[in-house]
């Protein structure tokens, strides 16, 4: 029997980083955390307060602040070696998906040795990791709840994923105030990434009725609250709703996975340095159109969540057209994603990646057979 709905991560929604982290560490009898974050966060009031509160409590912490977007394997390996040398009893990740994913990889290397690339093909060897507290400062990747980490393999210049329930966070600490200062462009990209997690999970071969209900709620929350978070980033209620939706979307990844929109983003993002959340958003309209003939009811439900109206007698092609139009209104007008043309990439250059996307790890979850020609058509409509 395969259980398809479980959630072992302890979720805490709070409003003060220092107090919440201190309480978790004391509750778990931990006093030597290794803190992973990017260098910018070191100067933020919340992190400064955290380090002071921990020091005052006699909790010795060490920071590793070398995280960058699309973290390469070498950076994770160096972090793992530093964590092992510090003899940490726990790890705290603060930041966006890159920091949270890096912390998972650092935990693996510190606990088990070797290089993180060793575990790309040996996921069953992952066990016995230190407790992980994940604190997202963006609302998109859901890494604080997911059983995945993505690392850039320098040998192939491709983003590679490791999937294991043993890398799940022990705690996901959600503090909406940490997302208030997130710039508009990142708010848009991360929020649309979370929407894609829900939409793709909803359409995935791995979807279940329980997971579908979660996906529908995630899309509802993002449709109703992401535009407000973009318009007024200081609105804590909007930020909290979007952050909760993104974390639920991270949980959904463990249940239903993603499909070809994320495969496209992984391949094109690593090669052309596209912002991940933007890349999946450019891919999603074509994916909705592709899947409508085999899952018209679900594509129609996405359209309804996005405010579209249906008479009830639409063909799958008409359902796709209405839903895509509603998504583009949400993405481009309500949320305000910038045009793909801003990247100034030639279409012919994109088409060269068709086969790589077809063979990407998560593409097989797509409920349509993907071929070179199908993928070329999707890339023709990417944007």
pLDDT in 10s for each residue of the chain, 383 residues = 676 778 899 999 999 999 999 999 999 999 999 999 999 999 999 999 999 999 999 999 999 999 998 889 999 999 999 999 999 999 999 999 999 999 999 999 999 999 999 998 888 899 999 999 999 999 998 999 999 898 887 777 777 889 899 999 999 999 999 999 999 999 999 999 999 999 999 999 999 999 999 999 999 999 999 999 999 999 999 999 999 999 999 999 999 999 999 999 999 998 999 999 999 999 999 999 999 999 999 999 999 999 999 999 999 999 999 999 999 999 999 999 999 999 999 999 999 999 999 999 899 999 999 999 999 999 999 99
β-strand pairing of 62-64 with 33-36: parallel
Q: Angle CA(62)–CA(7)–CA(110) in degrees, nearest 5?
A: 30
Structural domains in the chain? 10-179 (3.40.50.1970), 184-380 (1.20.1090.10)
Strand partners, 135: 94
- Token output for 296: 């018209």
Region at 370 (left for phi over 0; alpha for psi -120 to 50; beta for the rest): beta
**β-strand pairing of 62-64 with 148-153:** unpaired
* pLDDT score of 154: 77
Q: Considering only CA atoms, which of 155, 194, 203 is closest in space to residue 363?
A: 203
Q: What is the rounded distance in angstroms from the CA atom of residue 105 to the CA atom of residue 110?
A: 9
pLDDT of the residue at 123: 81
User: Cα–Cα distances in Å, from 320 out to 232, 239, 302, 331, 375?
Assistant: 32, 30, 10, 16, 18
Report residue 57 CA to chain centroid gap: 33
CB–CB of 370/260 below 8 Å?
yes
Is the dihedral angle over the CA atoms 289, 213, 367, 262 positive or is it negative? positive
DSSP codes of every residue in 64-77: E-B--SS-BHHHHH
pLDDT score, position 159: 79
Of the candidates 77, 82, 71, the one whose C-alpha atom is nearest the C-alpha of residue 141 is 71
What SS3 class is residue 134?
Answer: strand
Decide if 208 contacts 5 (C-beta within 8 A): yes
Rounded distance, CA 257 to CA 201, Å? Answer: 6
C-alpha–C-alpha distance, residues 325 and 332, integer Å: 10
Q: Which of 108, 111, 87, 78 is nearest to 168 (CA)?
A: 108
Residues 6+ apart with CB under 8 A from 2: none
8 Å CB contact between 251 and 278: no
DSSP H or E run through 190 = helix 184-203
> What was the pLDDT predicted at 124?
87
Taking the C-alpha atoms of residue 256 and residue 251, their distance in angstroms, rounded to an integer, is 9
E strand or H helix that includes residue 260:
helix 260-272
Please report the pLDDT score of residue 1 as a whole number: 63
C-beta of residue 196 within 8 angstroms of C-beta of residue 269: no
Q: Are 104 and 9 in contact (CB under 8 A)?
A: no
* Radius of gyration (C-alpha) of the chain in whole angstroms: 20
pTM for this prediction = 0.92
């Amino acid at each position: 029997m395969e259980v398809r709905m479980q959630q072992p991560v302890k979720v805490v929604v709070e409003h003060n980083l220092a107090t919440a982290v201190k309480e978790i560490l004391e509750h778990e009898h931990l006093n030597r955390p290794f803190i992973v974050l990017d260098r910018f966060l070191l100067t933020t009031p919340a992190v400064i307060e955290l380090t002071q509160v921990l020091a005052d409590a006699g909790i010795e912490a060490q920071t590793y602040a070398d995280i960058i977007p699309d973290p390469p394997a070498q950076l994770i390996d160096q972090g793992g070696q530093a964590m092992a040398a510090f003899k940490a009893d726990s790890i705290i990740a603060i930041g966006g998906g890159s920091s949270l994913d890096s912390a998972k990889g650092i935990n693996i290397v510190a606990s088990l040795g070797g290089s993180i690339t060793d575990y790309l093909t040996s996921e069953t060897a992952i066990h016995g990791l230190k407790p992980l507290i994940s604190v997202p400062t963006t609302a998109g990747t859901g890494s604080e709840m997911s059983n995945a980490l993505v690392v850039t393999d320098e040998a192939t210049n491709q983003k590679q994923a490791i999937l294991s329930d043993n890398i799940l966070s022990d705690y996901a600490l959600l503090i909406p105030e940490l997302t208030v200062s997130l710039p508009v462009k990142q708010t848009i990209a991360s929020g649309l990434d979370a929407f894609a997690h829900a939409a793709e999970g909803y359409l995935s071969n791995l979807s279940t009725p329980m997971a579908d209900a979660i996906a529908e709620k995630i899309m509802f929350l993002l449709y109703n609250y992401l535009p407000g978070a973009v318009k007024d980033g200081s609105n804590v209620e909007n930020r909290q709703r979007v952050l909760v939706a993104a974390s639920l979307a991270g949980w959904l990844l463990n249940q239903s996975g993603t499909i070809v929109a994320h495969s496209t983003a992984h391949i094109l993002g690593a090669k052309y340095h596209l912002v991940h959340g933007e890349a999946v958003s450019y891919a999603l309209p074509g994916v909705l159109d592709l899947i409508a003939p085999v899952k018209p009811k679900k594509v129609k439900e996405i359209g309804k969540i996005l405010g579209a109206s249906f008479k009830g007698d639409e063909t799958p092609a008409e359902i796709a057209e209405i839903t895509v139009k509603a998504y583009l209104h949400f993405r481009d007008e309500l949320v305000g994603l910038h045009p793909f043309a801003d990247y100034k990439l030639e279409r012919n250059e994109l088409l060269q990646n068709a086969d790589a996307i077809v063979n990407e790890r998560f593409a097989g979850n797509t409920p349509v057979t993907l071929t070179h020609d199908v993928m070329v058509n999707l890339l023709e409509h990417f944007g």
